[in-house]
């Protein structure tokens, strides 16, 4: 078939063929197609242009998400799927973005773990759970978290938030065991390991001279 007309509408191009068929593509895709009015175009060429346009749109959507914050490959896959892009298009885009370094699950995980520990003062158990929800593999999670596991910041974070929690509880005339249990469950909810929780709870209560016989 022959490309009988090329119509531009803002950043879109509508290709008109002598068969009455019309195809709408992005202007950038058209520029890369090498097509001109009067060209003879076969079905294989048309299908490639349609595919290139789908990839272009999916990649643009991915960059918009990445412009807001870093994403794991799994997060992007889910978001592009919700936008209605075909599975094969999504995988092509993800492979390209990974190859070019726009997506890196290891770097994403390191930044995520560091932010959650340093800024949100969360424990590694909770962080591990959140990373699973984001589709990060267990191998990557374990590799990254192990580099933070022995860091004293976990105790420091736990003692800071435990003291704040204790201050909000100590005027409620709670029995010793109930007070201790509340602190334990609070730190457990923040994702700290049992060994850190036990040490921190004991230290907080000891520092305030709280004993079982008060």
Q: Is the pLDDT of residue 162 over 80?
A: yes
Contacts of 171 (CB under 8 A, 6+ apart): none
Residue 86 per-residue DSSP state: -
- The answer to whether residues 77 and 90 touch, using CB atoms and an 8 Å cutoff, is yes
Q: Is the pLDDT of residue 211 over 60?
A: no
Instruction: Check: pTM over 0.85? Answer yes or no.
Output: no
- The model's confidence at residue 171, banded by pLDDT at 50, 70 and 90, is confident
pLDDT in tens, 51-82: 999 999 999 999 999 999 999 999 999 999 99
Q: What is the mean pLDDT of the chain?
A: 93
Q: What is the spatial distance between Cα 203 and Cα 201, in angstroms, rounded to a whole number?
A: 5
Q: Is the pLDDT of residue 214 over 50?
A: no
Tell me the β-bridge partners of 12.
9, 26
135 exposure class (CB count in 10 Å sphere: 0-12, 13-18, 19+): middle
CB neighbours of residue 55 within 10 Å? 18
Tell me the β-bridge partners of 16.
5, 22
- The answer to whether residues 83 and 143 touch, using CB atoms and an 8 Å cutoff, is no
Q: Is the pLDDT of residue 93 over 90?
A: yes
Mean pLDDT, residues 144-171 taken together: 94
Could you tell me the two tokens for 19? 């068969």
**Residue 213 pLDDT:** 40
Angle, helices 153-169/105-118, rounded to nearest 10 degrees: 40
CB neighbours of residue 177 within 10 Å? 9
């Amino acid at each position: 078939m022959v490309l009988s007309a090329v119509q531009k509408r803002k950043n879109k191009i509508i290709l008109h063929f002598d068969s009455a068929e019309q195809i709408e593509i992005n202007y950038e895709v058209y520029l890369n197609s090498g097509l001109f009015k009067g060209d003879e175009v076969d079905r294989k060429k048309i299908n490639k242009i349609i595919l290139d346009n789908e990839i272009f749109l999916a990649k643009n959507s991915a960059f918009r998400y990445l412009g807001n914050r870093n994403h794991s490959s799994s997060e992007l896959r889910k978001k592009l799927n919700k936008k209605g892009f075909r599975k094969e298009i999504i995988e092509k885009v993800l492979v390209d973005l990974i190859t070019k370094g726009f997506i890196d699950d290891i770097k994403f995980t390191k930044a995520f773990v560091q932010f959650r520990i340093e800024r949100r003062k969360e424990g590694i158990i909770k962080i591990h759970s959140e990373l699973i929800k984001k589709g990060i593999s267990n191998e990557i999670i374990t590799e990254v978290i192990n580099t933070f596991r022995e860091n004293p910041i976990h105790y420091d974070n736990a003692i800071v938030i435990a003291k704040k929690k204790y201050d909000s509880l100590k005027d409620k005339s709670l029995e010793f065991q109930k007070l201790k249990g509340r602190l334990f469950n609070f730190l457990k909810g923040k994702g700290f390991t049992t060994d850190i929780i036990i040490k921190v709870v004991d230290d907080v209560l000891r520092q305030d001279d709280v004993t079982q016989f008060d």
